[in-house]
Amino acid sequence: MLLTRGERRRGIAWGLMSFASIALFVAIAVVALLSWDADGAQSRLFTAYTWRILRFTLWQAMLSTLLSVGLALPVALALARRPDFPCRTWIVRLLALPMGLPVLIGALGLIGIWGRQGLINGLLLTLGLDQPISIYGLSGILLAHVFFNLPLATRLLLAALERQPAEYWLLSASLGMKPLSVFRFVEWPAVKNVIPGIGALVFMLCATSFTLVLLLGGGPAATTLEVAIYQSLRFDFDPPRAVALALLQIVITGVILLGMALLPTPDDPGAASGRTSRRFDGQALSVRLWDSFAILAATVFLIMPLASILAAGLRANLWNLASSAAFLTAAWTSFSIALSAGMLTIVTALAIIAGREAVADMKKPAASARGFAAMLAGTSSLVLLVPPVVLGTGWFLVLRPLGDVGRFAPLLVAVINMLMALPFVMRVLEPAIETHRQRTARLSASLGLSGPSRLWHIDLPVLLKPLATALSFAMALSLGDLGAVALFGSNDLVTLPWLVYSRLSSYRTNDADGLALMLGIICLLLTILGTTGRRGAENG
């Protein structure tokens, strides 16, 4: 009972407000979808095309998951076994890079390496192979999904392996266990529990993948639900089909989320790089060679596209590009949307946290209060259930009768970006604020500090850093996002990713490469700012 009654009431009010606005925003979109010409949508739901898209969505997600997790396992095992591998810290950091890279930019890098004119096909052609590998269609989608998700899976698996007590390794060495036995008795039990959670996470990411499929799909045969929704609005202007697909999408994500909730969640990879235990096993040459191969192969696989972005980007006339009117307008639009989205995210997250704090502070919270706190936590992840394209579609239908949708577009994009960033920002801010409260709540209560003076003297100095972290994280996400803007992008609303995409699709690749490099660097810097700040907040 460290909050005054007024504070608690205000906290609840804030929580209620944020809950109400998010729920309303999502609900309006969903209701608009449901009430739009339901008959038409129903007839569109049961077509061969719809079912093929559904099947392809799930099929590619399953293959992507199997490949990402399956390939991540040997890499994680190797990295865990080799705490002294040269540049290991940098390799582990490299694993964090694709997460911070806008998907669009990563895809460009992949095309640079794996495209028809890319490095790999050039190599294969000189080796006498006459059939180039195609990056369009299923193979390209899988490749790209592995590029983005293998590092994530590796980090999560590595974290699980590194949590094993050092004594286990010592013991297994003194028992003279062979690598296979070590795997069976020490390593497997460690990863076995997290694999389903990781798998579900990767599956979720791949099943809702938008940008990669849009770019690399190459036709109706390789289309996911998200892309099909986008196409049925932007290509056909066929709202009933968009509605049918959007509803199908909600059902699918709902089922996956339910599955995920039942599985143990893998731990945050933030802590992965720190602890390493001394390992005594795997000294045989063959094992050493295998580990080096696994680590190097993964490193090369990840570095090549990044290097290609850099190389291609530097070839473009960066200065001309950066001073062109198109770039400056897009940069300004992107920046204002990102800043609004970032600020909105922070305010909403703080409101949600205030609400949860107020409930936690009650001596005996009623079931309704506890339910409210849980609901608030769920609200912050609502965007996972109702993906951006679906939200966009719903709001599109709501706003259309009011006139030009383009006028509302920047605001909508900012709000949708806010919802997308919210789950991540909550994970940064909530622990930081919780720790801070535990440390200072009693003190400030005993000093009688409350309201603005507490905010100014106690909260702000400490929380400034996690707040900045959360802001930069949310901004990076918004700056790199193509999903929300794709529905509304027009000549009047051009963000940086939209500019890259339109340059790319008119095959002015040189421009696209240069823009991609600039955007990629901005986003990576923001993310790095975000993650280092976060580690500081956790340790400090």
Partner 1 sequence: MRNIILSMFAAAAALSLYTVAHAQDKTLTVYTYESFLSDWGPGPKVKEAFEKTCACNVKFVGVADGVALLTRLKLEGQDTDADLALGLDTNLVSEAKVTGLFDAHGLDLAAVKVPGSYSDDTFVPYDYGHFAVVYDTEAMKNPPKSLRELVDGDPSQKIAIEDPRTSTPGLGLLLWVKSVYGDKAPEAWAKLKNRILTVAPGWSEAYGLFTKGEVPMVFSYTTSPAYHMVEEKTERYQAASFAEGHYIQIEVAGILKGASEKELAKEFLKFMVSPAFQDIIPTTNWMMPAAKISGALPDAFNKLVQPQKTFLMGSDEVARNRQAWIDEWLTAMSMN
Q: Rounded to the nearest 5°, which phi and psi values hold at 54?
A: -60, -45
Q: How crowded is residue 453: how many other Cβ atoms within 10 Å of its Cβ?
A: 12
Task: Select 176 or 401, whichever has its Cβ closest to partner 1.
Answer: 401
Among 34, 129, 221, 289, binds partner 1 (CB under 8 A): 221
Angstrom distance (rounded) from CA 8 to CA 173: 56
Task: Select 294 or 413, whichever has its Cβ closest to partner 1.
Answer: 413
Interface with partner 1, residue 506, by CB under 8 A: yes
Among 9, 49, 381, 451, binds partner 1 (CB under 8 A): 49
Angstrom distance (rounded) from CA 221 to CA 120: 25
Please list, in sequence order, all residues whose beta carbon lies within 8 angstroms of the beta carbon of residue 128, skipping any fewer than 6 positions away: none
Angstrom distance (rounded) from CA 403 to CA 138: 39
Interface with partner 1, residue 219, by CB under 8 A: yes
Query: What SS3 class is residue 493?
Result: strand
Among 102, 115, 305, 497, binds partner 1 (CB under 8 A): 115
Owner of token pair 């604020």: 433
Largest CA distance in the chain: 80
For residues 417 and 486, the answer to whether their CB atoms sit within 8 Å is no
Angstrom distance (rounded) from CA 470 to CA 33: 32
Interface with partner 1, residue 235, by CB under 8 A: yes
Total binding residues for partner 1 by CB under 8 A?
33
Interface with partner 1, residue 315, by CB under 8 A: no
- Closest separation between CB of residue 130 and partner 1, Å? 9
- Closest separation between CB of residue 404 and partner 1, Å? 5
Interface with partner 1, residue 129, by CB under 8 A: no
Interface with partner 1, residue 60, by CB under 8 A: no
What are the C-alpha distances in Å from 51 to residues 58, 246, 249? Answer: 11, 13, 12
Among 1, 86, 128, 131, binds partner 1 (CB under 8 A): 131
Interface with partner 1, residue 176, by CB under 8 A: no
Interface with partner 1, residue 122, by CB under 8 A: no
Interface with partner 1, residue 236, by CB under 8 A: yes
Task: Select 49 or 188, whichever has its Cβ closest to partner 1.
Answer: 49
Interface with partner 1, residue 403, by CB under 8 A: yes
* Residues 404-463 interacting with partner 1 (rule: CB under 8 A): 404-406
- Closest separation between CB of residue 206 and partner 1, Å? 17
Interface with partner 1, residue 319, by CB under 8 A: no
Among 134, 139, 299, 435, binds partner 1 (CB under 8 A): 134
Residue 81-110 contact track with partner 1, rule CB under 8 A, x = bound? ------------------------------
- Closest separation between CB of residue 117 and partner 1, Å? 7
Interface with partner 1, residue 505, by CB under 8 A: yes
Interface with partner 1, residue 56, by CB under 8 A: yes
Task: Select 116 or 288, whichever has its Cβ closest to partner 1.
Answer: 116
Interface with partner 1, residue 365, by CB under 8 A: no
Angle 431-437-442 from CA coordinates, rounded to 5°: 160
Structure tokens at 232: 């049925």
Task: Select 223 or 444, whichever has its Cβ closest to partner 1.
Answer: 223
Interface with partner 1, residue 320, by CB under 8 A: no
Stretch that binds partner 1, among 101-109, 203-211, 231-239, 454-462 (CB under 8 A): 231-239
Q: Which of 385, 382, 360, 363 is nearest to 372 (CA)?
A: 360
Q: Rounded to the nearest 5°, which phi and psi values hold at 404?
A: -60, 115
Among 220, 254, 274, 540, binds partner 1 (CB under 8 A): 220
Structure tokens at 120: 């790999």
Interface with partner 1, residue 37, by CB under 8 A: no
Angstrom distance (rounded) from CA 251 to CA 386: 9
- Closest separation between CB of residue 217 and partner 1, Å? 8
Interface with partner 1, residue 491, by CB under 8 A: yes
Task: Select 53 or 73, whichever has its Cβ closest to partner 1.
Answer: 53
Task: Select 53 or 344, whichever has its Cβ closest to partner 1.
Answer: 53
Please list, in sequence order, all residues whose beta carbon lies within 8 angstroms of the beta carbon of residue 372, skipping any fewer than 6 positions away: 12, 15, 19, 355, 359
Instruction: Spell out the SS3 assignment of 13-75.
Output: HHHHHHHHHHHHHHHHHHHHHHHCCHHHHHHHHCCHHHHHHHHHHHHHHHHHHHHHHHHHHHH
- Closest separation between CB of residue 406 and partner 1, Å? 8
Task: Select 115 or 282, whichever has its Cβ closest to partner 1.
Answer: 115
- Closest separation between CB of residue 268 and partner 1, Å? 37
- Closest separation between CB of residue 341 and partner 1, Å? 24
What are the C-alpha distances in Å from 39 to residues 247, 393, 510? Answer: 14, 18, 47
Angstrom distance (rounded) from CA 249 to CA 152: 24
What are the C-alpha distances in Å from 295 to residues 44, 72, 199, 307, 379? Answer: 48, 10, 21, 18, 39
Residues forming contacts to partner 1 in the complex (CB under 8 A) are 47-49, 52-53, 55-56, 115-117, 131, 134, 136, 218-221, 223, 231, 234-238, 400, 403-406, 491, 505-507
